[in-house]
Amino acid sequence: MNVKILRAAAATLFLALAAGCAVLDPAAPDPGSDDGIQAAAMDGLSRDPMTAAANLLVSVDNGLATLTGTVPNTAVRQRAIQILERTDGIFEVRDHTRVF
């Protein structure tokens, strides 16, 4: 087999693994399932500077997201809801957060 082809294949595999390619991770949830949508929503909340430090949980049932936990103020609550509303697969958000 050609060495250039082997190197290219190895580089492609390395880049896919380094990028966290979900296709190669059999444990990754299906992005269209409730678990996959929930994972995407939680990821969005954890990456946002306003919501990352808040104590939030999301559950998803057939596109209905329920947001629970505590937030420091209403601005963080609104940002969390906005993130969930923009998450693919979520059609409605129920807010059960508390301001502490």
CATH class of 31-99: alpha beta
Q: In what order do the strands lie in the sheet with 64-71?
A: 55-61, 64-71, 92-99
The model's pTM: 0.71
Domain ranges of the chain: 1-28, 31-99
Rounded to whole angstroms, the Cα distance separating 84 from 86 reads 5
Query: What is the pLDDT confidence band of residue 11, given thresholds at 50, 70 and 90?
Result: low
pLDDT digits 0-9 by tens, 43-94: 999 999 999 999 999 999 999 999 999 999 999 999 999 999 999 999 999 9
For the cut 60, the answer to whether the pLDDT of residue 22 exceeds it is no
How crowded is the C-beta side of 85, counted as CA atoms within 13 Å? Answer: 9
Neighbours of 19 (CB within 10 A): 9
